[in-house]
Amino acid sequence: MAPRLLLLLAVVGSLCATAAVGDGDGDGGGDQIMRPLKMSCSTGAGNYVAGSQYHKNLDQLLAAIPMAAAYNHGFYNGSFGAAPDEVFGLVMCYVRATGGADPCRKCLAAAPSGIMQLCPGSRTARAVFDECVVLYSDVSFFSVAGDLAASSFYVQARRGQSWTAGSGFSPSEPPYVVDAAAMNRTRSDLIASLAVIAAYSPLRLASKDTPFGGSPSMEARWMSGFVQCRRDLPASECTRCLSGYNARPPRLLPNNSGGAIKGYSCILTYGIVIPEVPWLRLPSEWLCAYRQRPEM
């Protein structure tokens, strides 16, 4: 079966937040600042002061990021200035099919200024948004995935809804599965295989479907998976990031039928989906005839 990327990414867009471990500020807020799902800001005497050379360099870099990334398929990493005030920055859009490129553009346009307001004076900041990730620091972090501890990612889980492979009617997919052990095995194998593919993909991403049974009630289901790494990471670091996150769903998403782990360096998502039921799709002429029948 061909990868169902549109479907899987619709799953991701429909997930609701369940946990934000660590120092993030993902409460949404009611102001105009784009607030991240997960955030980390440096603090202490080493931070910059308003109007300093580091502040000016950071402004210049973050102002250039949206356009630079837009011309590079949603990814950019670079630096501005000279030591000791050189700033290293990176932005990346999470691949999405729903809504086209517009969600990516909006995130790239609003996220950099948003993180500066939420991390005032921080020489190092990291933020995971729903559509993109933004990182900057006074030390180069390129080509390294960094820390994969619980403070480095945000967890989303399916709470309801259902997704189908087409426009036909489908019974509702429950947010939890009964046979968690079977699901965990299928999910782990799927993400592991995708990690190998993504590590050697030029765009550092991969998607695939695999059959999922587990019980009579789960027949004819498929599990869709999608993974993505920062594009500056070498294959070994991409694999390390995805493998590290792949070990966590059995505890964080033990029986959820869909979920995601979004980190500063990589993302993994999965969802159990139901194929459409073709025999329940009525021909259009039948529907027209029904609408036009005379009143009794």
CATH number at residue 191: 3.30.430.20
Among 108, 137, 166, residue at a domain's last position: 137
CA atoms within 13 A on the CB side of 193: 12
Instruction: Sort 182 into a burial class: Cβ within 10 Å, 0-12 / 13-18 / 19+.
Output: middle
Tell me, yes or no, whether 25 lies in a domain. no
pLDDT at 100 over 50: yes
Mean predicted confidence (pLDDT) in 250-259: 92
Decide: pTM greater than 0.85.
no
3-state DSSP call for residue 278?
Answer: helix
Specify which residues 38 forms β-bridges with: 128
pLDDT at 14 over 50: no
Question: Structurally, how many domains does the chain consist of?
Answer: 2
Closest CA to 192 of 266, 254, 229, 245: 245
Secondary structure of the chain: what % helix, strand, coil (to 5)? 35, 25, 45
3-state DSSP call for residue 224?
Answer: strand
Tell me, yes or no, whether 19 lies in a domain. no
Tell me, yes or no, whether 75 lies in a domain. yes
Mean predicted confidence (pLDDT) in 47-57: 95
Question: What does the block give as tokens for 48?
Answer: 């910059």
Among 89, 115, 137, residue at a domain's last position: 137
Tell me, yes or no, whether 248 lies in a domain. yes
Tell me, yes or no, whether 232 lies in a domain. yes
Q: How far apart are CA 154 and CA 149, in angstroms?
A: 11
Amino acid symbol at 19: A
pLDDT grade, residue 222 (50/70/90)? confident
Which residues constitute the domain of residue 51? 31-137
Tell me, yes or no, whether 4 lies in a domain. no
pLDDT of residue 96: 61
Residues 118 and 64 in one domain: yes
- Whether omega before 84 lies within 30 degrees of 0, making that bond cis, reads yes
Tell me, yes or no, whether 282 lies in a domain. no
Tell me, yes or no, whether 10 lies in a domain. no
pLDDT: which is higher, 244 or 160: 244
Residue 247 C-alpha from the chain's centroid:
17
Residues 45 and 76 in one domain: yes
C-beta neighbour count of 47 within 10 angstroms:
17
Q: How far apart are CA 195 and CA 227, in angstroms?
A: 7
CB 9 within 8 A of CB 101: no
Average per-residue pLDDT for the chain: 78
Among 103, 137, 171, residue at a domain's last position: 137
Residues 157 and 104 in one domain: no
- 74-93, pLDDT tens digit by residue? 899 999 999 999 999 999 99
Alpha helices in 137-234 (DSSP H): 180-199
Residues 44 and 124 in one domain: yes
